[in-house]
Amino acid sequence: MIKCLECGFEADRLQWTHFKYNCTGKFKNGKEYQQSYPGAKVVSAQLSKKTAVTLDNLIGKYGQVDGTIRWDVYRKKQAETNTFKYKKEKYGWTQSQFDDYNSSRSVTLINMVERHGEEAGIKKWQEYCDRQAYTNTKEYFVEKYGIDVGTKKYTQLCKEKSAPHDPEIIAQQLNITKDAAVDIILSRQTIKFVSNLEKEFTNNIEKIIGPLEHISGRSPYGKWSAELGTYVIYDIKHKNCIIEFNGDYWHANPLMYADTAIIRGKCAVDIRNRDMLKLKTAEDAGLKTLVIWESEYRTNKEKTINRAAEWILREQE
């Protein structure tokens, strides 16, 4: 059951007849109601699930054969109506309008907050992330398909997802070293989010010592980490020197966050331990490492830039 936020009436569905005849008279339909109460539901979650167009619901209503046929027809129709060609012919949309439409429908934190308000939007975003994470677990596949089929499907999925990103597989396929395979993987990653502050820091370093060999957003450098079971990318690599420019929040600055603090669903101490293993990977390969914290740079930019530049000039070989 859901409650009308205007008059307090409770039902599984708040139809237009309720708003027009039984509510306060302020709204004619659910659309006007939701404009005044952003994020308010007009259909209960239970009823929405029961009436949703899903394969299980159609089979339950029409039987295995007819239900499956109706599901295939529905999927094809949905696929067609979501194309740019369909929107252009039916509504006269431009490519820009089509792109804006798709962007507005995507499940992002910004869109969730705009639709449901800050508190509810953040909660729904976290729930969505949790659901997405669960669908990639073995438990999900076993629950959906049974232990034998589920385990087989999960194992196959892991192999398919890891193959393009696993240097060991690439090295075997191409008969090259693991380091060479990592270079191939990193060459595909030409775009990486880099904060404006990190860009500013990097640019100022280059004003002192000249062009840096590798910058994560321009020409990424990384190594395969046996401890982490993945490859890691470093912010700056020049000669035998590695510099990590760590954001205080994203990397759980120990001067700001206790070990038990939860950041993006992870414990601060676990975030820092991962960063330590990342640095260890570089150090085990004979590289020198230096960490610069965001707050350190903000406090005294000139001093921090000079310290980092002098460190590179002193330690480089």
Query: What percentage of residues in the chain have a pLDDT greater than 70?
Result: 94
192, pLDDT greater than 60: no
Q: pLDDT per residue over 9-26, tens digit each?
A: 998 888 888 888 889 988
Q: Which domains does the chain have, with CATH numbers?
A: 2-102 (no CATH), 180-315 (3.40.960)
253, pLDDT greater than 80: yes
Mean pLDDT of 278-286: 93
Q: How many whole angstroms separate alpha carbon 205 and alpha carbon 222?
A: 20
211, pLDDT greater than 90: yes
Mean pLDDT of 59-75: 88
Find, among 226, 215, 153, 211, the residue nearest to 186 by Cα: 215
Ramachandran region, residue 309 (left: φ > 0; alpha: ψ -120 to 50; beta: rest): alpha
Q: State residue 117's pLDDT score.
A: 78
Residue type, 161: K
Q: How many whole angstroms separate alpha carbon 281 and alpha carbon 262?
A: 25
What angle do helix axes 118-134 and 109-116 make, rounded to 10 degrees? Answer: 140
Contact 184, 231 (CB under 8 A): no
Q: pLDDT per residue over 219-232, tens digit each?
A: 788 888 878 877 78
Contact 14, 22 (CB under 8 A): no
Q: pLDDT per residue over 35-62, tens digit each?
A: 888 878 888 877 777 778 888 888 888 8
Find, among 225, 274, 224, the residue nearest to 251 by Cα: 274
Q: How many whole angstroms separate alpha carbon 151 and alpha carbon 19?
A: 50
Q: State residue 312's pLDDT score.
A: 94
